[in-house]
Amino acid sequence: MPTLEGHFDDLQELLGRRLSPEEMDRTLDAVKGEWKQFDPGTGRFKIELNDTNRPDLWSVEGIARQLRGGRPRSGHPYGFLEQADLRKRKGGEPDIRIDSSVDRVRPFMGGFCARGGRLGAEGLLQIIGTQERLSDLFGRKRADLAIGVYPLDRIVFPLTYRACDPVTTRFVPLGADHAMTLGEIVETHPKGRAYGGLLKGHSAWPVLFDARETILSFPPVINATSSGEVTPEDEGLFVEATGFDPGRLLLVLNILAANLTDRGYEVEPLMAGGKSPLVAPASPGTVVHVPTGLPARVLGEERDPSDFVETLLDFGYPQISRPAGEGKSGWEVLSPFTRDDLLGAVDVVEDYLVAKGYDTFEPLLPREFTRGRPAPRQKIESRIRQALTAMGYQELLSNILTGEPLVTERLGRDAGALVRIDNPASLQFAVVRPSLLAGLLAAEARSGRALYPHRIFEVGEAMRLGAASRGEEDRPINDLWLMSALLAHPQASVSELQGVLEMLFERMDRTLVIRTADLAPYLPGRCGTYVNRSGETVATVGEIHPEFLDRWGIRMPTVCFEVDLEAMLAS
C-alpha cells in the first residue's frame, strides 16, 4: 500500500484548517488512510493508504484536496480545464512535436507549464515523491509511464520528441560531469542501469529536444544537465509524461497539475502532436449513469435523493444531473478529472457511503441463520483431489491469467479462441488460460532438479471464445471446468497415465471410449481422446512431443491428460 511522508504544517496549510493529529486520524477515513506515525518534535508524519485504485491520493496535495471536497485550495475552479477546451478548439501547431520515429519505442508524450508559484523545500520533496510513486507504482517502474519535471526558464518552445541513434547522440546527464552517448548512459549511469533495459531491443531511443535542439531528457531514463534540476525557488516548471497509453498520461498530468495549482502555480495546458494529439491537463469528461434505485439496493436503506447528490458534490464530483430524454431516470455523474477508478455506478454509491461515514448507517442483524455446505461442484473436486493425492499426485494452483505465447506457441495451438484482457497490467497476464496444461508444463520446467517421478495435477477454471451467432460479430465466452495431470520420469508412458485416468472415470461412475487422435502438443500415435456416447470429447491423454518439451526446457519424458469435467458429468 502507498505510504506518504510529509510535514504536518504543510498538510494543514494545504487543507486550509488546523487539526490535531487525533482529529486528522479520524478525518483520514474519507481517503481510506491511516495515521501511522507522527513525531511532535519534527512535525513529520506518515500516512498509509489502503486503496491502490486512486493515484490522485498518492500525495499530500491529493489527500488535502479530497478532504476539501475535491476543490482547489484557492476556492476557485481549476481554470486550466477551460483553457484546455480552448486549446483543443484553437488547434494550430503543437507545443510538443512528436516524430513518428518514436511510434515503436515509446509513442506518446504530454505536458504542461506551471508559472507564478514557489515550491519551497517541503513542496519540492512532495513533488519528487509524487513523481516517483506515480512512475514506480502506477507506471510499473517507468515501463508503462514515466514523468519528468524541469525548470521552465531554461526551455524554449516548441519541443520535439523523436528517436535517436544511441551510439551518436550525446549529452551530459544529471549526476555526470561529461557528455555521454545514450548507450554509455545505459551501461554506466545508475539511472541508465536501472531503466535502460526498457529500451533494449530498439535501434533508436527517444530523446526530448527544445527549439534550440538542446537535449532536455532521455525518457524514461534521465534528464540532461542543460535542463537543470528543479529547486525550491523555481517559479516556473515544465512537467511531461511519456508512455504507451494517452489516457494514463492524461490522468497523471491532471493529478500533477492539480497539485501544483494547490501550491500556488498557474497551469497552462500544452498540446502534444503525433498520431494521437493530446492536450493536457484536461477533463476526460467521463460520465457514469447511476440508476434511481441503486443507492437503496447497495446501502440497504432509503436515502434522500437530494442528500445523495449534495454529498457527492461535497465529496468532489464536479457535476451531477438528471439524464435527458423521456423515460430516463437516475443521475448522470461526471467523474472528477483526477480520477479513473469509477468502473460503474456502484463505485459512485461507495463514494457516497465513504463521504457520509459508515457510522451513519443503522446496523441490522441477519434475520435468518443458515448453515453453510459445500456446493455440488466442490464435492466433485474434493473427490478428485482425494483420489489423485492417494495415488501420489501433488496439487498445483496456477494463475488463471497468463501470457499468450505460453498457451499458443509452446502448446502448438492457435490463438483464435483466446479470451484477451483489455489494457493488461503486463503481457504475462494478457489472456485467460484456455487450458491447464501450460501451468503444469511450466511447473515441470522449473522442477528439473527435483527427484523423479514427478506427479502433479490441477483442477480449475479456464475460458475460450465460442462460435459467433449468425449476423453477430461478438463471440460468446465459454467457461470451462477442467482437470489436468502430468507425469514425468524416465519411463513415463501413456498407458501408465491412462490407467490413472480410467480409474478416475470409474470412481465417477463414467464409461467412456478412447479413440486415437493427433493433437498438439502430443506425439502422433501416442495421443488419444475419450468421448461419450454422443461423440463429444471429454478428455485427452498423450505423451508430450519432444519438440514441445524443448520449447519448455523439459528433459524428461512427460505425459499429460486433461478432462472437461462438465462434459464428463453430462455424459
Domain ranges for the chain:
1-71, 74-280, 287-357, 376-570
Domain 74-280 matches domain 376-570 at the CATH topology level: no
- Which of 3.30.56.10, 3.40.50.1860, 1.10.10.10, 3.40.50.150 is the CATH number of 1-71? 3.30.56.10
Q: pLDDT by residue (tens digit) across 400-456?
A: 999 999 999 999 999 889 999 988 888 899 999 999 999 999 999 999 989 999 999
Query: Is domain 74-280 classified as CATH 3.10.520.10?
Result: no
Whole-angstrom CA distances from 338 to 247, 271, 555 are 11, 19, 52
Res 338: pLDDT: 95
Residues 33 and 63: beta-carbon distance below 8 Å:
yes
**Closest to 501 measured CA to CA, from 521, 484, 524:** 484
**Beta strands at 558-564 and 537-544: parallel, antiparallel or unpaired:** antiparallel
Each residue of 170-203: pLDDT tens digit?
A: 999 998 999 999 999 999 999 999 999 999 889 9
Rounded distance between C-alpha atoms, residue 370 and residue 392, angstroms: 37
Q: 167 falls in which pLDDT band (50, 70, 90)? A: very high
> Of 340-344, 359-363, 446-450, 489-493, which gets the smallest average pLDDT?
359-363
Q: Which of 27-36, 70-79, 246-255 shows the highest mean pLDDT?
A: 246-255
Position with higher pLDDT, 507 vs 327: 507
Q: Terminal CA-to-CA distance of the chain, rounded, Å? A: 48
| 473: pLDDT strictly greater than 80 | no
Q: Write the CB contacts of 485 (distance below 8 Å, at least 6 apart in sequence).
A: 388, 393, 440, 455, 456, 457, 458, 497, 500, 501, 560, 561
Q: For the chain, what percent of residues have pLDDT higher than 90? A: 74
Instruction: Give Cα 469 distance to the centre of its chain.
Output: 32
Residues 6+ apart with CB under 8 A from 246: 108, 110, 276, 278
Can you tell me the distance from the alpha carbon of 297 to that of 429, in angstroms, rounded to the nearest whole number? 34
Q: How many other C-beta atoms can be found within 10 angstroms of the C-beta atom of residue 324?
A: 7
CATH 3.30.56.10 fits 287-357, yes or no: yes
Class of 376-570 per CATH? alpha beta
Q: What's the 3-state SS for 41-79?
A: CCCEEEEEECCCCCHHHCCHHHHHHHHCCCCCCCCCCCC
Closest CA to 559 of 505, 502, 493, 490: 493
Which amino acid type is present at position 363?
Answer: P
Is pLDDT larger for residue 423 or for residue 319? 319
> Burial, 425: exposed, middle or buried (Cβ in 10 Å; 0-12, 13-18, 19+)?
exposed
The answer, yes or no, to whether residue 325 has pLDDT greater than 80, is: no
**Among the listed residues 96, 100, 230, the one whose alpha carbon sits nearest the alpha carbon of residue 154:** 230
All three cell numbers of 140: 510499473
3-state secondary structure at position 3: strand
How far apart are the C-alpha atoms of 411 and 175, rounded to whole Å? 48
pLDDT exceeds 80 at position 468: no
CA dist., res. 29 & res. 50, Å (int): 10
Inform me whether the pLDDT recorded for 231 exceeds 70: yes
Give the mean pLDDT of the chain. 92
**β partners of residue 537:** 531
CA dihedral for 96, 99, 101, 107, sign (positive or negative): positive
pLDDT of residue 564: 95
Whether 470 has a pLDDT exceeding 70, the answer reads no
Cell of 498: 491412462
Distance CA 367, CA 361 (A): 18
Residue 358: how many other CB atoms lie within 10 Å:
9
Q: Which amino acid, 553? A: G
CB 335 within 8 A of CB 316: no
**Which pLDDT score, from 0 to 100, does residue 408 have?**
95
Q: How confident is the model at residue 469 (pLDDT cuts 50, 70, 90)?
A: low
Check if the beta carbon of residue 288 is closer than 8 Å to that of residue 318: no
In the predicted model, is pLDDT for residue 471 greater than 70? no
564, amino acid identity? D
Whether the ω angle into residue 158 lies within 30 degrees of 0, i.e. cis, is yes
Question: What's the one-letter identity of residue 505?
Answer: F
- Helix %, strand %, coil % of the chain (to 5): 35, 25, 40
The pLDDT score that the predictor gives to residue 359 is 84
Task: Provide the H-helix boundaries in 300-392.
Answer: 305-315, 345-356, 376-390
What b-and-e string marks burial along 260-289, b requiring 16 or more CB atoms within 10 Å of the CB? bbbbbbebbbbbbbbeeebbbbbbeeeebe
* pTM, two decimal places: 0.71
One-letter identity of residue 106: R
User: Residue 423: exposed, middle, or buried by beta-carbon count in 10 A (0-12, 13-18, 19+)?
Assistant: exposed
pLDDT tens digits for range 523-541: 999 999 999 888 889 999 9
- Report the alpha-carbon distance of residue 502 to residue 494 in Å, rounded: 12
Which of 11-25, 78-92, 393-407, 470-484 reaches the highest mean pLDDT? 393-407
Task: Return the pLDDT at 463.
Answer: 95
